[in-house]
Structures are given as structure tokens and as C-alpha cells.
Amino acid sequence: MEKQDTNMTPIQQPVLAWGNGLGLRITMPLAKAANLTRGTVISMEVIEDGIVIRPVDRPKRLSLAQKLKAFDPKRHGGEVMVSGRVGAEVF
């Protein structure tokens, strides 16, 4: 898994009204640094001087070997162009 940039410049933005509660926008640089994507379920915990937000359902990243093992050519495969050469391809 690639290492995320955790040395970001602190981001300051207002907490806004969202229905009967409050909302906080997570900017894209912050989301990328925290490896958050749309639909990620998070857990929030109140601590002495703030709030800690953590993802709870990080999808497991498969290795290339695991992806290749799961690949089914009958389901996913087949030639894209079965008609043969179209231009000046060299085989």
C-alpha cells in the first residue's frame, strides 16, 4: 500500500449548518491524504481537545497475483477486436 502524505498544511474551514446538525467539508487534498473516497464509512470519536475521524470499512487492496487468480476469461475476457487487422499493425 502506498504511503500517504501526512505532512499537509493545516486546513481551516467553517463548520456549517446541515439540516438539524452540523457539516464539515473534507477537501480533496485532505481526502486523498487520508485515503477517503465517496461512500467510505467513518467512525467519529470525541477526545479531550477535538474529534478523531477514522474510516471503518477500508476496502482490502488485492495484490496483482490475487487479481490474476480471480480473473475469469469467460466472464471478463475475449478479444476486443476479433475482426483482425484494421490498419498497418505489425505482428
* pTM of full prediction above 0.75: no
**Boundaries of domain holding 50:** 16-76
The pLDDT of residue 45: 95
The pLDDT of residue 78: 64
Residue 4 lies in a domain: no
| Local structure of 90: helix, strand or coil | coil
The pLDDT of residue 14: 93
Residue 90 lies in a domain: no
Residue 70 lies in a domain: yes
CATH number at residue 41: 2.10.260.10
32: exposed, middle or buried (Cβ count in 10 Å: 0-12, 13-18, 19+):
middle
pLDDT along the chain (91 residues), means of 10: 61 92 92 87 93 80 85 73 69 69
Domain count, the chain: 1
Alpha carbon 12 to its chain centroid, in Å, reads 23
The pLDDT of residue 1: 42
Residue 3 lies in a domain: no
- CA-CA-CA-CA torsion sign (13, 18, 20, 21): negative
Residue 62 lies in a domain: yes
The pLDDT of residue 66: 86
